[in-house]
Amino acid sequence: MKRYILFWVSLVLMLASLFLVFVYVPTEKEMGIVQRIFYLMVPMGWLALLSFFIVFICSILYLARRRDSYDALAYSSAEVGIFATTGALIVGCLWAKPIWGVWWTWEPRLTATLVLWFIYFAYFAVRSFAGEEARGARYAAVIGIVGFVDLPIVALATTLWRGMHPGGVIFSGGLAPSMLLTLLVSLGAYTVLYVLLLVHRTSVRQDEAFINSLKARLG
């Protein structure tokens, strides 16, 4: 029942976000229509960070208490996170080409986001190479904790190094009220989508573990 509510809330917020992005918000003068990618790029970046923050918290809890539910949540959040990070990088390229004239540039935030993608990749790779499930979970938890170092770098990249990225404009008060409203609704919509995906992915992970335990009992 809760999942249906979550699904409908997510759908309504997504439609509201699309309406605001494509109909309500005015076109930015300098960059033109392509500036609207901003309302997708920021939520993707936010989800990439939020997902890894959850991975970080659950990894600490897993190492401290060794409960499989924490590992399931960390694993699920990492999976949603790698999709979000991939999305952020793709959308970033689609933004960069018309605005900067290149598909990719080693701009601080883009580079830090790419590093985050590799950390996510390593999180899954160690599980595959560890062989045993519990050992893989432990190794992955260590990466989930160590990899957290990259999060403040991604978040503060535009402030620390003054790159070309437009992220800094949000906190400097450079957004018009209509743009800020569109951005906030989009952030809310994609955050609810993240929760929905996380709930379903965790459920799949737990069902898989339950099946393995039933199979073990059957011999």
Partner 1 sequence: MENAGYLLAAFAIIWVIFFAYLLNLLNRQRRLKKEIDALKNTLKEKTG
Write out the residues near partner 1 by the rule CB under 8 A: 18, 32-34, 36-37, 40-41, 44, 83, 86-87, 90-91, 94-95, 97-98, 193, 196-197, 200-201, 203-204, 207-208, 210-211, 214-215, 217-218
Task: State in angstroms the smallest separation of the CB of 116 from partner 1.
Answer: 17
Q: Which is nearer to partner 1, 103 or 171 (CB)?
A: 103
Closest contact distance (angstroms) between CB of 149 and partner 1 is 27
Tell me whether residue 65 or residue 217 sits nearer to partner 1 (CB atom): 217
Query: H/E/C letters for each residue in the chain?
Result: CHHHHHHHHHHHHHHHHHHHHHHHCCCECCCEHHHHHHHHHHHHHHHHHHHHHHHHHHHHHHHHHCCHHHHHHHHHHHHHHHHHHHHHHHHHHHHHHHHHCCCCCCCHHHHHHHHHHHHHHHHHHHHHHHCCHHHHHHHHHHHHHHHHHHHHHHHHHHHHHCCCCCCHHHHCCCCCHHHHHHHHHHHHHHHHHHHHHHHHHHHHHHHHHHHHHHHHHHC
Rounded least distance, CB 127 to partner 1, Å: 18
Minimum Å distance from CB 25 to partner 1? 12
Residue closer to partner 1 by CB (options 89, 157) is: 89
- Shortest gap between Cβ of 97 and partner 1 (angstroms)? 7
Judged by beta carbon, residue 101 or residue 131, the one nearer partner 1 is: 101
d(CA 139, CA 129): 10
Dihedrals φ, ψ of 28, to 5°?
-70, 140
Nearer to partner 1, 71 or 79 (CB): 79
